[in-house]
Homo-oligomer: A and B are copies of this chain.
Amino acid sequence: MTGKFYGLGVGPGDPKLLTIRAVEILRSVPVVAVPKSSTDKNSIALEIANPYLPGPVEILELNLPMTTDPAVLERCWQAAAERVLDHLRIGSDVAFLTLGDPSLYSTYQFVLQKLRAICPELEVETVPGITSFAASAAVLNQPLASGEEPLLILPAVDNRLGAYIEEFPNLVLMKVSRGLESIVQTLNYYQKQGVLVSRCGSQQQSVVRDLNSLVGKGVDYLSLVLVNGNATNTSVGREKEDAE
């Protein structure tokens, strides 16, 4: 009589980018689990999913802080898994929400591992979500990669960025709010164009093509930079963008 565990990708910001399957599940589960770091005021994933919740749903806030301390992480993943299991064990299905896609840079995978360790027979369904980079490229009406070109996704600033830029003309640089200055310098050095997209699909969405204008200013932590080897950065498709 164990409930089913769902990992739902809710996309990067626009509720209309949820899938039919994710909406179907949101309308049926009694418990929705949302990862929450201590600094979050509200869960962005929950805000995105909110239009589809049928009303009387239990929201399970899981404390999953943004830290790199492995001991703290292990403890929090374990505690989150145990809280989810409390509901699964009484037969309630639980949907764990993740921004973007649950297979990319999501704590869902770690909580799932802990759940499986305790309860190997657990029924699990992972529902993929629209990634922030696919949504950002769509807003810009530009390709991420074409033909036989590779695409390299880098979730953090890395001192190897210069080497990567030379080898891979198409790059997705995620979580660029830390280290943006270094990214801009490197792009300038290699004469590469990047476009910054923040809070893609939300009310606060912004697009910045002149990355030099950002140096010394803070950018939202939900920001990425797309580098497209073939991009002309012309006016194609600007109608969906905000003022820059």
Nearest CB on B from A79, distance (A): 19
Asked whether A60 is an interface residue with its Cβ less than 8 Å from the other chain, the reply is no
| Bound-complex Cα distance A149 to B152 (A) | 11
Q: Which residue, A15, A102, A110, has most C-beta atoms of chain B within 10 A?
A: A102
Q: Nearest B residue to A235 by beta-carbon distance?
A: B120
Asked whether A219 is an interface residue with its Cβ less than 8 Å from the other chain, the reply is no
| Bound-complex Cα distance A120 to B105 (A) | 38
Pair A17/B143 contact, Cβ less than 8 Å: no
B-contact bits for A169-187, CB 8 A (1 contact / 0 none): 0000000000000000000
The complex is assembled from copies of this chain, and their number is: 2
Which of A33-41, A153-161, A188-196 lines the interface with chain B?
A153-161
Which of B125, B128, B147, B155 makes the CB contact (< 8 A) with A130? B128
Known A134-B128, A154-B150; contact A103-B14, beta-carbon cutoff 8 A: no
Pair B16/A24 contact, Cβ less than 8 Å: yes
Q: Which residue, A20, A21, A105, A125, has most C-beta atoms of chain B within 10 A?
A: A20
Pair A151/B149 contact, Cβ less than 8 Å: no
Known A128-B130, A147-B155; contact A20-B18, beta-carbon cutoff 8 A: yes
Q: Nearest B residue to A123 by beta-carbon distance?
A: B239
| Bound-complex Cα distance A120 to B124 (A) | 47
Known A135-B128, A150-B153, A152-B150; contact A116-B236, beta-carbon cutoff 8 A: yes
Which residues on B sit within 8 Å (CB–CB) of A104? Answer: 134, 143-145, 151
Q: Interface residue count for A (Cβ, 8 Å)?
A: 62
Asked whether A142 is an interface residue with its Cβ less than 8 Å from the other chain, the reply is yes
Nearest CB on B from A156, distance (A): 4
Asked whether A28 is an interface residue with its Cβ less than 8 Å from the other chain, the reply is no
Pair A124/B9 contact, Cβ less than 8 Å: no
Q: Nearest B residue to A106 by beta-carbon distance?
A: B143
Contacts beyond the supplied A9-B138, A128-B130, A152-B152: 19 A-B pairs with Cβ under 8 Å:
A7-B138, A9-B134, A11-B19, A17-B20, A17-B128, A19-B19, A19-B130, A101-B134, A103-B138, A104-B143, A104-B151, A109-B142, A109-B143, A126-B137, A128-B131, A130-B130, A148-B155, A150-B152, A152-B168
Q: What 8 A-B pairs are tightest by C-beta distance, nearest first?
A: A103-B137, A16-B21, A126-B138, A128-B134, A148-B156, A128-B138, A151-B153, A109-B143
